[in-house]
Amino acid sequence: MAKKKEKETKEEKETKITDLPGVGPAVATKLEDAGYFDLMSIAVASPAELGDASGLSEASARKVIQAARKMMNLGFEDASEYLKKREEIFKLSTGSKNFNALIGGGIETKAITELFGAFGSGKTQIAHALAVNVQLPREKGGASGKAVYIDTEGTFRPERIKQFAEGIGADPSKILKNILVARAFNSDHQMLLLEKIPEMIKNGEPIKLLVIDSLTAHFRAEFTGRGQLADRQQKLNRYIHQLSKLSDQYNLAVLVTNQVMANPAMMFGDPTTAIGGHIVGHASTFRVYLRRGKKDSRVAKLIDSPNLPDNETVFFITTNGIADEES
Ligand code: GTP
Ligand code: MG
């Protein structure tokens, strides 16, 4: 009986958007290109949005949305089930209590956390610190896990990892062994590397953190012309969707970095910032804007969180970690 149920849920997950009445392969491709990959994303869309993305009339789009809602059985769930799902989530410590508090206790699993900010704002430093801290036991803000670090800019520094390892009183050579690093040479390679992760986890690697530093650099470099913006966005949508699925399926914390101009107002013109709106399903998103503060401090500001206030906090990058105080 339990087996049958398991099978059913598995099949449910594999329902494709072409199973919706009125969504043939051509419409499906348009929808996927706009970031609608699954029933959930369609079920929560508005008819106007979906119409724009698919070329369907608003009335037809409304029918598609209604069908998606029916198929998904959107509604209430037993609170104990809900609690069970929430209990699986854990939070990784950055090393700074202030920073952790800003994002609700630390970098969450089953979620994507985006660090964005200008050159030198501290994105890579925080990513390094987390690749170390994920190895701590739960009670110390880790997950006794390993990190996968996808480095697109060639800025991963084992020497820095060693310093952070010393900061938590751990053996640097052991810490280094638990960080699986790959250099991604272009956006296709960056996408390909993700495919290896389920295999590694199935082979018993206790991966709990996935870092993509930087998420967007290759995409920006390769799709430069104005006419290529839509292509770039499609590819990024797909990539984010895959990250979201991985984080949810394997209970991973996903940390991505994204460089922006120093003027935060600029980001609203950047299509990469729209991505968050399309991340649906179970994975949620935290977006943290980083900048240099007074003296050697850094400021982190939480942006657009659905359930946390848009606060900001001060932290420091020190020789041995991310901290509340300057060392
Ligand atoms: P881009 O990748 O260029 O967009 O920048 P980023 O946001 O990734 O910046 P990154 O995390 O590389 O931050 C670099 C800054 O971290 C430097 O300017 C230093 O201020 C600080 N930093 C780097 N290494 C050390 C170190 O060993 N000790 C201390 N105290 N600070 C460091
Ligand atoms: Mg960097």
Q: Give DSSP secondary structure letters for 26-61.
A: HHHHHHHHTT--SHHHHHTS-HHHHHHHH---HHHH
Q: Residues 261, 158: one domain?
A: yes
Assigned domain for 12 exists: yes
Nearest atom of ligand 1 to the alpha carbon of 296: 20
The span from the CA of 43 to the CA of 50, in Å, is: 10
Whether 229 and 91 share a structural domain: yes
Are residues 283 and 162 part of one domain? yes
- Look over the chain and give the mean of its residue pLDDT values, rounded to a whole number: 86
- Total structural domains in the chain? 2
Question: Which structural domain, as residue segments, surrounds residue 35?
Answer: 2-72
* Ligand 1 pocket check for 145: Cβ under 6 Å: no
Is 67 within a domain?
yes
At residue 82, the pLDDT reads 74
pLDDT at 14: 59
* CB contact set of 291 (below 8 Å; sequence gap of 6+): 117, 118, 121, 262, 264, 298, 299, 301
Q: What is the pLDDT of residue 262?
A: 52
My answer on whether 59 and 127 are in the same domain is: no
Does the residue 289 lie in any domain?
yes
Q: Is residue 260 part of a domain?
A: yes
pLDDT tens-digit series, residues 156-211:
999 999 999 999 999 999 999 999 999 999 999 999 999 999 999 999 999 999 99
Which of 50, 72, 94 is the C-terminal boundary of a domain? 72
Same domain, 12 and 104: no
pLDDT at 276 over 70: no
Index of the ligand 1 atom closest to the CA of residue 127: 11
Of all residues in the chain, the percent with pLDDT exceeding 70 is 88
167 within ligand 1 shell (Cβ under 6 A): no
- Greatest alpha-carbon pair distance for the chain in Å reads 63
What pTM was estimated for this model as a whole? 0.81
Q: Higher model confidence: residue 27 or residue 12?
A: 27
The single-letter code of the amino acid at 18 is T
Ligand 1 pocket test target in 130, 317, 326 with most atoms within 8 Å of CB: 317
Q: The CATH number of the domain where 100 resides is what?
A: 3.40.50.300
Q: Is the Cβ atom of 119 under 6 angstroms away from ligand 1?
A: yes
Out of 72, 107, 132, pick the residue that ends a domain. 72
